[in-house]
């Protein structure tokens, strides 16, 4: 059987990751996670080089306490029971 060779177009892939559509999707997902976690959490999205990165984090003392006690962010992304 012949071996299949794949050559990735990394420049094209990196351009795709910078597009506004991708940033919109990432922002939307971060906002969903923030909403699931509840009051006291916020999200932000930033462009870092060739990728878009989103963060969801507690913004109040109550949010920090709820995250520490219940692990709400892990649960919001499906990582906790």
pLDDT digit string (tens) for 32-70? 999 999 999 999 999 988 889 999 999 999 999 999 999
Question: What are the DSSP calls for 18-29, one per residue?
Answer: HSHHHHHHHHHH
Q: Which residue has the tokens 């878009």?
A: 52
The per-residue pLDDT for 48 is 87
Residue 49's Cβ-count burial label (10 Å; 0-12, 13-18, 19+) is exposed
Residue 27 has pLDDT above 70, yes or no: yes
pLDDT at 81: 56
Which residue is associated with the tokens 């870092």? Answer: 48
Taking the domains of the chain in order of start, what are their residue ranges?
Answer: 19-76
Q: Flag whether pLDDT at 77 surpasses 70.
A: yes
Average pLDDT of the residues of the chain = 91
* pLDDT for res 4: 92
* 68: nearest Cα among 43, 37, 32: 37
């Amino acid at each position: 059987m012949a071996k299949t060779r794949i050559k990735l177009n990394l420049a094209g892939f990196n351009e795709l990751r910078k597009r506004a559509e991708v940033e919109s999707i990432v922002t939307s997902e971060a906002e969903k996670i923030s909403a699931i976690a509840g009051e006291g959490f916020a999200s932000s999205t930033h462009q870092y080089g060739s990728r878009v990165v989103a963060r969801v984090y507690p913004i109040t003392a109550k949010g920090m306490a709820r995250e520490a006690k219940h692990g709400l962010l892990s649960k919001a992304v499906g990582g906790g029971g």
